[in-house]
Amino acid sequence: MFRLLSKESNIFSVPAYIGFLFLIFISLNLLDFENISLLSTIITFTGISLGYFLFNTIALNQFSHLPLFLYTLFVVAFYDGTIDFGLSITFLMSSILLLILTSQNDQLRKSSYMLVGAILCFTFLVFPPSWPMAVFVIFHIIGTSARIGLNLFRLLFGSILIVLSYFGVIYLLNWTTWDSSFFPFSISFEMLKSYDPLPILIPIVLMIIFSLTDHFKHYNEKSPISRYKYTFVLVFSLAQLITIIFYMENHYEYLLLLALPASIIISRMLRYLPKYWMQELGLWIVVFCLAAFKIANFALY
């Protein structure tokens, strides 16, 4: 199966995967029709679907089917049919942000920081645990911009516009109390009492760690563009991981935040393994782990 998925994708590949994902979303929601939130489901589906287009813009996987297939598996494994509205907004806005920041149009990227600031602020107001995304964008600007001060000002100005609009609306609605959840770490942090079924994902975590160590081992052998793009993916992953560690608790749909970077990292690891049997074995380990996680999670609830 690895050789089949290693073939180059075409213009029909992404619509085919999105269509399959649409069927999955319908199936999972029909299983829990009483608790379905139509708006959250549509927003989540849109945000996750945009993720398929990011593989081509990030361009770390030689346009093969493998990352698309892995991304679909991660989404199916972690999506349970019920997504909080704030989290669904985060999926959509994260995809839009990545499309902007990875655009091949330099003028678009440089002129969009005010829009990026507005998106970050809106996402934070809807879903406060998304604050690490703002840190990710700030580091991105510092690491890639020639005019750091100007772009940070644009980012801040876009955020201020949304904040002023927000306070204007809540004042008209006579909402005068401040929600402490808007302050990072204001919510008490408690360790999980039960980690089931997270241990099932340990083989996938080990694959990601192996891929990262191999990347830094051969760091100087890679092209500057490849190093930049991989670092971009890692910093984005770290931002999402912070949200997961501090706010996930037993809401395992938060793991969808890592579906895109995990697909990129694991597909690259599999592609660079020296033996074909290793590649095939690694792929099937991922498939079985995600299938087992889905079954175990479904059994718990």
Res 109: pLDDT: 76
pLDDT, tens digit, 9 for 90 and up, residues 223-271? 888 888 888 899 999 999 999 988 888 888 999 999 999 999 999 889 8
Domain locations in the chain as residue ranges: 2-107+196-300
* Tokens encoding 251: 């809401």
What does DSSP assign to residue 185?
T
Residues of the chain with pLDDT under 70: 2, 10, 29-36, 62, 176-194, 301
Select from 70, 134, 74, 123 the least CA-distant residue to 101: 134
Res 280: pLDDT: 92
Whether the CB-CB separation of 131 and 122 falls below 8 Å is answered with no
Select from 63, 29, 65, 62 the least CA-distant residue to 44: 29
8 phi and psi angles, rounded to 5 deg: -70, 135
Within 13 Å of residue 189, how many CA atoms lie on the same side as its CB?
10
Select from 87, 84, 79 the least CA-distant residue to 26: 79
Res 103: pLDDT: 80
CA distances from 60 to 4, 45, 84, 222, 266 (A): 19, 24, 31, 12, 11
Res 194: pLDDT: 65
CA distances from 72 to 103, 111, 144, 276 (A): 23, 32, 31, 23
